[in-house]
Chains A and B, each alone.
Chain A
Amino acid sequence: MIVYKVGGSNPPPLVSGATLGQQHLEALLEILLDKALTYGKNEIVPVEPVVLSFSGIESATASYVKALLLPLLDDLTDVEDFKGKFRPNTFVMPFVADLTDELRGELWLVMKDQGSVYLEAQDMGTCHPISARIIGELDGFLKKTISIVVAEEQCTATDLYAKYPSEGISTTGWNNRLADLYELRVIDRRKCGRQWIYSPVVKEVVYG
């Protein structure tokens, strides 16, 4: 787990603007790049939880939040100034932490506007967040699916089709939902043969 203190040890209480967000993102990406380079060329860089701690920051603007947080939900090879540095499909599992109510409110608005969500680490654990709050709106189907993934600990779309026939969802339906949650970075997955095995990134998820 990488814990990144946004703005360093003595951050400004108010953070605004895309320029500052981009600078804080670049500082984090340098750390991630250094970590990625410790792996051999043919090794798979494991997905790692990255916790962005906003300790000391009271409030932020939407421009700042978008510039810092949204690129972490995408393939890092697309981030400007870092194009070509990361390997294709380099993802991280981002969390935010130590949010004030005002900051959480702004983040919620940004995520709602983007149709996305972010995980706020609640119990940080020693090497991995144990519980998280979802910031942003998830539709009812996805909420239910994430609860199932958390309960199952690991599963495939085929498993869920077999285990939850009363839901009336096809294997493809489960597959789509699981893939959507992975795209939102709220569950993890690994390839096994022709199937994706999905697993939760925390042991407990709360909403709102």
Chain B
Amino acid sequence: MIIGSPEVESIQRLAITGGLDRLDSLSNIGFSLSAALELSCFAVAWDRLGNDDLIRFIERWSSTNSLLNSVRVALAHQGIWSVPQADMFLAPRYEVFPIPLAHEWESNEWHEFLDRFRRSLVNGKFGASLSRALVHAFAEMADNVPQHSGRDRQNPACGVAAYHVEDSYMTFSIADVGRGVLASLHTKPTLSDIASDSDALRTAILGYASCRPNRVKGDGFKTVLDSLSDINGNLRFRSGNACLTISGVGDTRERVMRSVPDLLGFQLSVSCSLVDSPSTKYI
């Protein structure tokens, strides 16, 4: 059984309504990358509230699912570099990495991780130029964590960056358990009238708004959308109680904003396919 991000919303609803027992029948399930990150963020949030009901399910699932287990470990050991490091010359199919703190951003470990992603993309038939563009997009999105998730650059929230590459398919996902997009935009006086999580996502992602004091527009989301301009893409952005999905190619992409169960921080995933609609395959 494969669990994708929408199914994680269902699990959240079950948790909120006290129906987690219905999950007892689920075992040996496979998780898509973004689902593993979102579910782990929810578990962290739930745990912070003193409710560890979900943890027993995640522990059970992660015992048979190395991807979910890696996310769990990475989120639990933020900033300590305790996640087993892959050989710097490998091109793994998937990898999960704790997002560095601001002062660790120059570390070799982080740049070797990015380079392994690039090599994996090249091996996955994405070509040198597109692979570089996707790695730039991935790093830009990861950069949102030290830049925006905490009250300042030196105090970011816990965050995880991960990728998964198959032949002609790829996905990357970034998740943090920080203050979320709305609170981040509210730090800028001119954006303080944004009233909802959905408006915040719209303003930041579609309007490229920047919460830096001397900038009107940011570049991160533009870099992501530009990198995917010619290929089939599925993008999912989630913060607070809003979720924006963008799918398709170039200017014809369909944008859908939905209400989802509340989740602290900001979670995003970008999937794309060179051969078919990315929705035909969850990775």
**A and B from one complex:** yes
Question: What are the interface flags for B120-153 relative to A under an 8 Å C-beta threshold, 1 for contact and 0 otherwise?
Answer: 0000000000001001100110110011000001
The residues in B between 55 and 100 inclusive whose CB is less than 8 angstroms from any CB of A are none
- Interface residue? A20 (CB, 8 A): yes
Instruction: Scan residues 1-46 of chain A and give those whose CB is less than 8 A from a CB of chain B.
Output: 7, 12-14, 16-20, 22-23
Please name all residues of chain B whose beta carbon is closer than 8 Å to the beta carbon of A59 when the two chains form the complex: 132, 136
Contact A17–B140 (Cβ < 8 Å) = yes
Most buried by B among A7, A12, A16, A58: A16
Report yes or no: B132 in contact with A16, Cβ–Cβ below 8 A: no
B140 touches A63 (CB 8 A): yes
List chain A residues, Cβ under 8 A from B147. 17-19
Check B218 against A63 for contact (C-beta < 8 Å).
Answer: yes
Task: Please state if A61 and B106 are interface contacts (CB–CB under 8 Å).
Answer: no
Q: Which of B106, B118, B142 contacts A14 (CB 8 A)?
A: B118
B143 touches A14 (CB 8 A): no
What is the interface of chain B mostly: helix, strand, loop, or mixed?
helix
* Chain B contacts for A18, CB-based, 8 A: 143, 147
Chain A residues positioned under 8 Å from B278 (CB to CB): none
- How big is chain B's contact interface, by range? 20 to 34
Distance between B210 CB and nearest chain A CB, rounded to angstroms? 10
The reply to whether A61 and B132 contact each other, CB–CB distance below 8 Å, is no
Find out whether the CB atom of A14 lies under 8 angstroms from the CB atom of B146. Answer: no
Cβ–Cβ < 8 Å partners of B215 in chain A: 66
With CB as the reference atom, state the residue of chain B lying closest to A8. B106
A17 and B105 contacting across the interface, CB-CB below 8 Å: yes
Interface magnitude class on chain A:
10 to 19
Contact yes or no, B139 A17, CB < 8 A: yes
In the bound complex, do residue B132 and residue A14 qualify as a contact, i.e. CB atoms below 8 Å apart?
A: yes
Known contacts A61-B219, A66-B219: A17-B111 contact under CB 8 Å? no
Are A62 and B135 also in contact (CB < 8 A) when A16-B143, A19-B143 are?
Answer: no
Minimum distance in angstroms from B119 CB to a CB of chain A: 12
Q: Across the interface, do B220 and A63 meet the contact criterion of CB distance under 8 Å?
A: yes
Q: Please, which residues of chain A bring their CB within 8 A of the CB of B272?
A: none
User: In the complex, what distance in Å separates the CA atom of A63 from the CA atom of B210?
Assistant: 11
CB-nearest residue of chain A relative to B118? A14
Any A CB within 8 A of the CB of B102 = yes
Return the chain A residue nearest B112 by Cβ: A12
Supposing A61-B140, A63-B220 touch, asked if A20 and B135 sit within 8 A by C-beta, the answer is no
B223 at the binding interface (Cβ < 8 Å)? yes
Complex contact A20–B223 (CB within 8 A) = no
Other CB < 8 Å A-B pairs besides A17-B147, A23-B102, A61-B136, 7 of them? A16-B114, A16-B140, A17-B140, A17-B220, A20-B105, A20-B106, A63-B219
